[in-house]
Amino acid sequence: MGTVTKLSRGKQPQRKEYPVLRQGDVLLVPVDEIPDGLKEVPRESGRLVLAHGEATGHAHVIEGEAELLAADVEDLEQRFLRVEQEAELVHDEHDTITVEPGEYEVRRQREYAPEAPVRVSD
């Protein structure tokens, strides 16, 4: 496997024909494959946390057989999710979403601000 530091805008992963899943400010975008060289992001108290809500502190969590991967496990950007069996994306303030087996890019929605893009608070 090669190493990946950041994906350039010109080298976005190919998208599969599954629907994009959205829960609050978290998007799961299906991709044909996950880049090589990524590391598994450790679970938090046994939970696979995709993102923490900035406004409430509640977390977007995958329940089921899955792994979260990133070039830099401390970086909240450039993360990918591999789901082995049907799983659920859960959050205390949103409906639960069924996630089909496959590979996804995990994105955080951003707001436009003239000075710089700002991550949406959930």
**Phi and psi of 82, rounded to 5°?**
-115, 120
C-alpha distances (whole Å) from 14 to each of 8, 26, 48, 63, 81 are 13, 19, 24, 25, 14
**pLDDT above 70 coverage of the chain, percent:** 71
Give yes or no for residue 83 having a pLDDT over 90: yes
Query: How do beta strands 21-23 and 110-111 pair?
Result: unpaired
The residue type of 86 is E
- Could you tell me where the DSSP H helices lie in the chain? none
Confidence band (pLDDT; 50, 70, 90) for 111?
Answer: low
Residues 6 or more apart whose CB falls under 8 angstroms from that of 35 comprise 4, 7, 13, 71, 80
The span from the CA of 89 to the CA of 23, in Å, is: 8
Which range is least confidently modeled, 55-59, 71-75, 84-88, 117-121? Answer: 117-121
pTM for this model (two decimals): 0.74
| Domain definitions of the chain by residue range | 21-119
Tokens of 75: 């970086």
